[in-house]
Amino acid sequence: MDETLSLGRIAGVRVGLHWSVLVVVALITVTLAHGRFPAAHPGHSPVAYWGLAVLTAVVFLGSLLAHELAHAVVARRNGVEVEGITLWMLGGAARLRGEAPSPAAELRIAGAGPITSLLTGGVLAGAAVGLDALHASGLVVEAVAWLAAINILLAVFNALPAAPLDGGRLLRAYLWHRSGDRLRATRGASAAGRALGWFMVLTGFADVLFAGNLSGLWAALIGWFLIAAATAESRQAQIRGVLEGVPVSRVMTPAPVTVRATTSIRDFLAEGPFGPYRHAAFPVLAADGSATGLLTVRRVQDVPPPERDHTMVQEVMRPLGEVVTASPDEPVLDLLPRLQTSPTRRALVLDQGRLVGILSVADVSRALTWPTAPEGPQHPRSELSKEQR
């Protein structure tokens, strides 16, 4: 889930909002200002209802952020790098780079979120009781009480033992501890997530069809999200199982076709697509042979035909600073997140500054579709790989 608006860094973690957060803010605001607040405490002005509803929605987003920050902070303390946090329509997502090193670490990381939400709900419940004892406005007490209840509900829902919920992570930690097999544990948690998702979808639509309750659509939407996310998580686990310990050098395309930085666009086009330039992206080399950037066909197409004679490759390429780079010995799993978020979806493989290969998402996909070799000596497979390269 990519962020639309960056909020900077909190506790050293990059935080952003997805545009769909506006849906949450609007839904909560309308529900409270037009329904719950006037029904519970009539007689206030519309400005009071709507103003407090907006403030309540914003505080709720803050509680979601605290939930995800708890995951991120505990993950960093357990040696897992955190890429960032994005708040979106169905909650938040802390993007972790890599897996927990042990079941115990997984347990701590997963449990941090629900515990934070539960504590937040408890503090807000105490605040609501205190405000009521001080005879504060009943409308304000209602807002604080709603925030307390929704945070406790968030903690309980997230604790359900189904991936990708936090409870699914807890279940995976337990299964991992019992079996010693992280992939098998992930499959079990993902199956539980799909089962819960289908239950919510079916009951949600049944609520709409037989009871006429349109709120069932919301339950069905969350259920659909759980099914999709659990399936994706299972797929990611399979990818990690295949690529675990595999270096970039095993997957990359070695000795790629390159183009000189001083080549004109006209000369470049004259050599393709049936000549050497028959791909969609090419590493660009400086006069001394060092890599200096990456040229894509899309950027070449953006050069008007009259300007192609005097426009050089170095003028339209992506500079090396904007291109993902990797070393031959780097694990593919560590590179994959950067590769997937790169505009070109390619990485230049450099060995002490010298270009030795290029790696694309397509290269990784080919590696994943290759039949798994039986356990045993790997020398014949290695020799075959060298010959085919």
Q: Is the peptide bond before 305 cis (omega within 30 degrees of 0)?
A: no
CA distance 389 to 385: 6
Decide: 127 and 144 in contact? Cβ < 8 Å.
yes
Q: Is the peptide bond before 164 cis (omega within 30 degrees of 0)?
A: yes
Decide: 238 and 343 in contact? Cβ < 8 Å.
no
Which positions ≥6 away from 34 have C-beta within 8 Å?
Answer: 49
Tell me the three state secondary structure of residue 97: strand
Q: Name residue 57's amino acid.
A: A
**Distance in Å from the first CA to the final CA of the chain:** 36
CA distance 72 to 13: 7
Catalytic pick among 3, 68, 142, 233: 68
Q: Which long-range contacts (CB under 8 A, 24 or more apart) does 19-23 make?
A: 20/88, 20/89, 21/61, 21/87, 21/88, 21/89, 23/89
Q: Rounded to 5 degrees, what are φ and ψ at 211?
A: -110, -10
Joined together, the tokens standing for residue 232 give 């994706």
Helix (H) or strand (E) holding 324: strand 324-326
Q: Which long-range contacts (CB under 8 A, 24 or more apart) does 239-242 make?
A: 239/336, 239/368, 240/99, 240/183, 240/333, 241/183, 242/367, 242/368, 242/372
Handedness of CA 107, 113, 114, 120 (dihedral sign): positive
Q: Is 387 a catalytic residue?
A: no
CA distance 28 to 36: 10
CA distance 103 to 176: 6
Which residues are annotated as catalytic?
68
